[in-house]
Amino acid sequence: MSFIEESFFKAFSLIFSVNTELFQIIRTSLAVSGTAMILALLVSAGLIYLLEFRKFPGKTLLITLINTLMGLPPVVVGLLLYLLLSRSGPLGVLELLYTPTAMIFAQAILATPIITGLSFAAIRSADPAIKLAALSLGATEFQATCRLVLELRYSILASVVAGLGRLMAEVGAVLMVGGNIAGYTRMMTTSIVMEADKGDFELAIALGIILLLIAFTINGALHFLQKRT
Amino acid sequence: MIKKINGMQLEKQYGGKTVLSCSLQVDSDGIFCIIGPNGSGKSTLLRIISLLEKPDSGELVIADHSQSFVNPFENLNLRRKIVLVSSHSRLFHDTVFNNVVYGLKLRKKDHRNLREQVERTVKMVGLTHKINTIATDLSSGEQQRTAIARALVLDPDVLFLDEPTVSLDPENTKLIENLILDWNKKEGKTIVLVTHSLFQAQTLSDFIIFMYQGKIVELSETKNFFRAPRTELGQQFISGKIY
Ligand SMILES: Nc1ncnc2c1ncn2[C@@H]1O[C@H](COP(=O)(O)OP(=O)(O)OP(=O)(O)O)[C@@H](O)[C@H]1O
Ligand SMILES: [Mg+2]
């Protein structure tokens, strides 16, 4: 067996042997990303509400900012968060550095601009006739926008999946603020980097396969939903 | 019930160009037809008097049996007594049933009767066999009839229709025209509709509102208008000399 074949073989046996370390890593990953996603969705919903229904100074600036942040390099988020949370930083007293909470914040900060930016763009570029139809049937401004969101459900769902993709795939920021502490902040992506670095490919490959499966499942579910109607 | 819609010096500009500048008085429960060339401001006027768009200036007074509302744009209860069906109305990506039930649900009408009310109205526009079809998959004529059903089911005091028969075949045109006539006669409610068919205007309406370049040039009884328009422009329009 070649080296690569052997690594894959060991990776599969690792997955099927219900390795506790592996499952610990997966669990941390899912818990951190799941919480970050919920946080990102809540903040995005709030931001979209503000942008759609409220007039305030600096609104155009906020939109530009969100669009800029969509392409924000993850390591920059990691760096900023690191500086904020480090012992001598302004939020140092919270002692959040190298905790799952810090990683949740990092991921949420990365996903929020994507979800907000893409959803808001979809809402803005929607056919105005949809909203007009709802209004003429007696909807309030808010009800008409809810109907619009319902009409745009697939574009909005796609933007949520894009946000989820960015957050699950990310390494740089979580590594900086979470470290890679075994059994505590060790995640799938960070372990892949560390293990591959050490030359231990089997765990890295096993995690890679599982990440791929997760991505495949999410996109498959999205496709299924779109197909259904 | 709404008895009068009174627009005074309504003005609307788009990109610095005045597209509407007119006054209008609708104070009968008849059928009003707005006619005029493309771009003369018919749809814009309809959106303004159906409380969906604010004019840049001017005043709108809507009078009820009991009270009159001045500049009533924020008044939801009043807005819910007026329904506009736009031309090429956009249906929701949902079943015909859910499209028609939408406005009723907003009004939180007695939920037990919803199904029956919707089914009756869908039957009126001849779409019973399509009630569970996704509305946006229907032919444009069927979509247009769904849009009308969605409005009729709400039983508004005033119904505004922008080119209601624009993509319908002769049979369905007749069906919609009869619906409009019946509904007007039975309920005694005001209908204002835009049409490019002079024949339809002549056979359907009690009054003609003739618009040209953002202005109401003439508001006359239909038979008088077609016998002898009061204005030179009206004369030219019905003989096809201006467009
Ligand atoms: N949302 C808008 N933005 C910019 N211009 C507009 C808008 N709505 C209407 N207009 C302009 O206002 C003018 C009047 O338009 P309107 O739709 O009221 O005409 P109309 O009489 O309904 O025409 P048609 O017979 O073609 O339906 C047109 O020149 C149109 O280009
Ligand atoms: Mg028009």
pLDDT score recorded for residue A139: 95
Q: Is B149 helix (H, G, I), strand (E, B) or coil?
A: helix
What is the CATH code for A3-228? Answer: 1.10.3720.10
C-alpha of residue B187 to centroid of ligand 2, in Å: 27
**A154 contacts on B by Cβ (under 8 Å):** none
- Per residue in A28-44, pLDDT tens? 999 999 999 999 999 99
A22: pLDDT strictly greater than 90? no
Domains of chain B: 1-81+158-168+185-243 (3.40.50.300), 88-155 (no CATH)
A18: pLDDT strictly greater than 80? no
Per DSSP, helices labelled H in chain B are 42-49, 76-79, 96-106, 114-124, 140-152, 170-187, 198-204, 222-227, 232-238
B158: pLDDT strictly greater than 60? yes
Element (H, E) at B90: none
Q: How far apart are the first and last CA of chain A?
A: 48
Q: How far is CA A151 from CA A122, A128, A157, B231, in A?
A: 11, 12, 11, 47
Q: How far apart are CA A173 and CA B32, in angstroms?
A: 66
Judged by CB atoms closer than 8 Å, whether chains meet at A139 and B106 is answered as: yes
**B83 contacts on A by Cβ (under 8 Å):** 136-138
Indicate the domain borders of chain A. Answer: 3-228
Compare A94 and B243 and report the one with higher pLDDT: A94
Rounded mean pLDDT, A205-218:
91
Apex CA A150: angle with CA A145 and CA A152, to 5°?
Answer: 95
pTM of structure: 0.86
DSSP string across A178-226: HTT-TTTT--HHHHHHHHHHHT-HHHHHHHHHHHHHHHHHHHHHHHHHH
User: A1 falls in which pLDDT band (50, 70, 90)?
Assistant: low
Atom 18 in ligand 1: residue holding the nearest Cα: B41
Q: How far apart are the first and last CA of chain B?
A: 37
DSSP string across chain A: --HHHHHHHHHHHHHHTT-HHHHHHHHHHHHHHHHHHHHHHHHHHHHHHHHHH---TTHHHHHHHHHHHTT--HHHHHHHHHHHHSTTSTTGGG--TTSHHHHHHHHHHHHHHHHHHHHHHHHHTS-HHHHHHHHHTT--HHHHHHHHHHHTHHHHHHHHHHHHHHHHH--HHHHHHHTT-TTTT--HHHHHHHHHHHT-HHHHHHHHHHHHHHHHHHHHHHHHHHHH-
A81: pLDDT strictly greater than 60? yes
In sequence order, which residues have a C-beta less than 8 Å from that of residue B54 and are 6 or more positions away?
Answer: B48, B73
C-alpha of residue B168 to centroid of ligand 1, in Å: 22
C-alpha of residue B90 to centroid of ligand 1, in Å: 17
pLDDT score recorded for residue A229: 57
The count of other CB atoms within 10 Å of the CB of residue B216 is 22
**B52 contacts on A by Cβ (under 8 Å):** 132, 135-136
B109: pLDDT strictly greater than 70? no
Q: Is B55 helix (H, G, I), strand (E, B) or coil?
A: coil
Compare B90 and A226 and report the one with higher pLDDT: B90
Query: Rg of chain A's alpha carbons, rounded to an integer?
Result: 21
Query: CA torsion sign, B69 to B73 to B75 to B77?
Result: positive
Apex CA B73: angle with CA B70 and CA B76, to 5°?
Answer: 110
**Nearest CB to B50 within list A127, A136, A150:** A136
Pocket of ligand 1 (CB under 6 A): B 14-15, 19, 36, 38-44
Query: CA torsion sign, B111 to B113 to B116 to B117?
Result: negative
Rounded mean pLDDT, B131-152:
94
Rounded mean pLDDT, B17-43:
94
